[in-house]
């Protein structure tokens, strides 16, 4: 769509066309009659099994979507390989989330939804955290910048610490939130604290007055604070409460 407004000096931008790496593939169509289990497997799953035989635990196809369950410690390596490998090119990260089952014996799963735009493929990667295991997972932020907030949300809601995330802190809940991780199954729907306690905390908090230590340090605001407050903040205390 030429507008006639482009500066003459600018080199024409590259346009990425999905499906361009696989021009012979049939036109994508709306799936119908998808079986519950089985059906065609995403070709990347077989490639992953061949490339990482000791890291791929199992591959399953449910409702036509291929899930590869992998060893948690290898996720970053696998995602980087899928991203860079010219035969796969999973260059788009749709989602990072986690699933906890109602059955406490079931492992908690961290889920990555990846898309290969070049090949029009969709792949679900899963890493399982056994009950009682450390709530940790690899951060894929070094491959996908878009993972930043998705991982922060997953940490906020489930308490999963993403190794290698540059700035892992709460995102939807406030930083001083004390009740735990809301999407865990042991977290009651109404919250852990009584309504009276929740109300007391909400009234005591002043969310609009709160700057993080990082924010205060970037401008002169920090210098302008009284010395006693500066000392407290430097000791790691949060502002606002």
Partner 1 sequence: MDNTRTIDVALSTSGLDAEGRPVRVPLAVDRAGHPVAVTPPQALEPDLQGEHMLINLGPQHPATHGVLRLVLELDGETVVRCIPHIGYLHCGFEKIGEYRQYNQIIPWTDREDYLNSIGNNVAFALGAERLFGIDITPRCTVLRVIAAELSRIISHLVWLGTTCIDIGAFTPFLWAFQERENVYRLLENWVGARLTTSATRVGGMAADIPDGWMDQLRGFLSEFPRTIDEIDRMLTRNAIWVGRTVGLGAMSAEDAENYGLSGPMLRASGVAYDVRKDFPYLDYETYDFEVPVGTRGDVYDRFLVRMEELRQSIRILEQAVVRLPDGPVNIDDPRVILPPKTKAMNEMESMIHHFKQVMEGPRPPIGESYVAVESPKGEKGYYMVSDGTAKPVRWRIRPPSFVNLSAIPKLVEGHLLSDVIAINASIDIVMGEIDR
Examine residue 19 and tell whether it contacts partner 1 (CB under 8 A).
yes
If the CB atoms of residues 48 and 98 are measured against partner 1, the closer one turns out to be: 98
Q: How far is CA 207 from each of CA 2, 16, 210, rounded to the nearest angstrom?
A: 46, 42, 5
- Burial level of 217, CB count in 10 A (0-12/13-18/19+)? middle
Examine residue 22 and tell whether it contacts partner 1 (CB under 8 A).
no
Per CB under 8 A, which of residues 202..231 are in contact with partner 1?
207-208, 211-212, 214-223
- Is residue 138 within 8 A of residue 73, CB to CB? The reply is yes
Token pair, residue 74, equals: 């290898």
In the complex, the smallest distance separating the C-beta of residue 54 from partner 1, rounded to whole angstroms, is 25
In the complex, the smallest distance separating the C-beta of residue 53 from partner 1, rounded to whole angstroms, is 25
- Is residue 210 within 8 A of residue 239, CB to CB? The reply is yes
Examine residue 131 and tell whether it contacts partner 1 (CB under 8 A).
no
Part of the chain binding partner 1 (CB under 8 A), chosen from 39-47, 69-77, 116-124, 197-205? 116-124
In the complex, the smallest distance separating the C-beta of residue 199 from partner 1, rounded to whole angstroms, is 17
Per CB under 8 A, which of residues 40..99 are in contact with partner 1?
62-65, 67, 91-95, 97, 99
If the CB atoms of residues 53 and 69 are measured against partner 1, the closer one turns out to be: 69
Examine residue 12 and tell whether it contacts partner 1 (CB under 8 A).
yes
Examine residue 145 and tell whether it contacts partner 1 (CB under 8 A).
yes
If the CB atoms of residues 23 and 28 are measured against partner 1, the closer one turns out to be: 28
Please state, in angstroms and rounded to a whole number, the distance separating the CA atoms of residues 215 and 61. Answer: 46
Show the beta-strand stretches assigned E in 35-160: 56-62, 65-70, 92-99, 108-116, 121-129, 136-138
In the complex, the smallest distance separating the C-beta of residue 182 from partner 1, rounded to whole angstroms, is 6
- Burial level of 189, CB count in 10 A (0-12/13-18/19+)? exposed
Per CB under 8 A, which of residues 148..207 are in contact with partner 1?
148-150, 153, 157, 166-167, 170-174, 182-183, 187, 189, 207
Please state, in angstroms and rounded to a whole number, the distance separating the CA atoms of residues 133 and 110. Answer: 13
In the complex, the smallest distance separating the C-beta of residue 174 from partner 1, rounded to whole angstroms, is 7
3-class DSSP assignment, residue 98: strand
In eight-state DSSP terms, residue 10 is S
In the complex, the smallest distance separating the C-beta of residue 197 from partner 1, rounded to whole angstroms, is 18
């Amino acid at each position: 769509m030429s507008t006639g407004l482009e500066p003459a000096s600018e080199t024409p931008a590259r346009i990425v066309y999905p499906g361009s790496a696989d021009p012979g593939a049939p036109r994508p169509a709306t799936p119908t009659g998808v079986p519950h289990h089985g059906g065609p497997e995403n070709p990347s799953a077989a490639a992953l099994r061949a490339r990482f035989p000791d890291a791929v635990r199992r591959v399953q196809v449910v409702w036509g979507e291929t899930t590869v369950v992998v060893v948690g410690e290898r996720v970053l390596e696998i995602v980087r390989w899928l991203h860079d490998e010219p035969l796969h090119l999973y260059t788009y990260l749709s989602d990072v989330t986690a699933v906890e089952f109602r059955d406490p014996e079931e492992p908690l799963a961290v889920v990555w939804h990846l898309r290969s735009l070049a090949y029009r493929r969709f792949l679900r990667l899963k890493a399982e955290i056994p009950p009682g295991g450390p709530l940790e997972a690899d951060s894929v932020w070094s491959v996908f910048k878009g993972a930043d907030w998705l991982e922060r949300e997953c940490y906020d809601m489930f308490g999963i610490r993403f190794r290698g995330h540059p700035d892992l802190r709460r995102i939807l809940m406030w930083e001083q939130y004390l009740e735990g991780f809301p999407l865990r199954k042991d977290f009651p729907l109404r919250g852990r604290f009584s309504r009276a306690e929740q109300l007391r905390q909400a009234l005591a908090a002043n969310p609009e007055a709160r700057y993080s230590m990082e924010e205060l340090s970037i401008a002169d605001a920090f210098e302008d604070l009284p010395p006693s407050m500066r000392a407290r903040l430097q000791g790691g205390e949060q502002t606002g409460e």
